[in-house]
Amino acid sequence: MKKKGCLIPLGIVAALVAWGVIYTWPETHRYRMTVEVETPQGLRTGSSVIETSYRKEIKVLPDQLTGTIRIRGEAVMVELPDGQTLFALLRGESVRTFDDIVYDTLGGENSPHMRVGAPPVPIARNMMNPARGQDNQISGLPLLVRFLDIHDPRTIKKVDPESLAVSFGSGVVLKRITLQVTDDPVTSGIANKIPWLNHLERYRRDTKNPFTSTLPTEIGSFRSK
């Protein structure tokens, strides 16, 4: 009986090694992303708690990836004057993910900014280095968007972080966007503002196939489960 008890776990381990799927327990962190916007009617803010989970993979094959990252949370919403809304998505420009933004802002796991309750850190604090170009400054931020008609996801438009007034009117300026490590629960409820987020299948050529969506790719960065 004892021999069988040892052989079964070893057999499972051997199979996992053969498939290249041995993982460590996931490491999970939560961050509050806060967006502050100056308007003629005063400061407007919005925030969202977003969770990242990193599961490190024990590499047993030459071309094997070394880990997987899962993001859970929602975009930040900032209610602006005249019924307008600014959204900061769970990604940056190009292929930058929320996890990229976190690492660039707070540093590695040994950084003092990675402690729960540490002061908020401006996301773009390192972007003022003259050695970095204008494109890099913009790509350091989360992607900012708005809707010409908030009831229609097809009307999404990118917002220039350095020229919010072009999209929202004179006197509207992005003050700062910050990250803070937190233990607060992950934010939910964005679908109360944009109900179509719960019915994206309506915008697919094949309702059962998410890869047939007719919507802009930015829509996929409003929420991650």
Q: In this structure, what DSSP letter does residue 118 have?
A: P
Amino acid of residue 51? E
| CA-to-CA separations, 223 to 56, 98, 178, 214, in angstroms, rounded | 24, 12, 19, 18
Cα dist from 108 to 37, 113, 178, whole Å: 28, 9, 17
Q: pLDDT tens, 145-173?
A: 999 999 999 999 999 999 999 999 999 99
Band of residue 110 on the pLDDT scale cut at 50, 70, 90: low
| pLDDT tier at 121, thresholds 50, 70, 90 | confident
Q: Is residue 158 part of a domain?
A: yes
Residues 13-53 have pLDDT tens digits of 555 444 445 556 678 889 999 999 999 999 999 999 999 98
Owner of token pair 């933004």: 101
Looking at the domain assignment, is residue 151 inside a domain?
yes
Tell whether 220 is covered by a domain: yes
Write down the pTM of the prediction: 0.80
* 5 within a domain of the structure (yes/no): no
Is 38 part of any domain? yes
Residue 11, domain member (yes or no): no
- Tell me which residue of 114, 219, 106, 102 sits closest to 156, measured CA to CA: 219
Sheet holding 173-181, edge to edge: 121-122, 173-181, 27-39, 42-56, 67-74, 223-224
Neighbours of 123 (CB within 10 A): 24
Provide mean pLDDT across the span 107-122.
78
Look at the chain and report how many structural domains it folds into: 1
**Highest mean pLDDT out of 123-127, 135-139, 219-223:** 219-223
Q: Which domain holds residue 31?
A: 23-224
- What per-residue confidence (pLDDT) applies to 149? 98
User: What tens digit of pLDDT does each residue of 164-197 get?
Assistant: 999 999 999 999 999 999 999 999 999 999 999 9
68-90 pLDDT tens trace: 788 999 999 999 999 999 999 99
Tokens standing for 42?
């005063």
Is residue 126's pLDDT more than 80?
A: no
* Per-residue pLDDT band at 102 (split at 50, 70, 90): confident
User: Is residue 222 within 8 Å of residue 87, measured between CB atoms?
Assistant: yes
More confident residue, 114 or 65: 114
Q: Does any domain span residue 189?
A: yes
| Type of residue at 157 | K
In a domain, 184, yes or no: yes
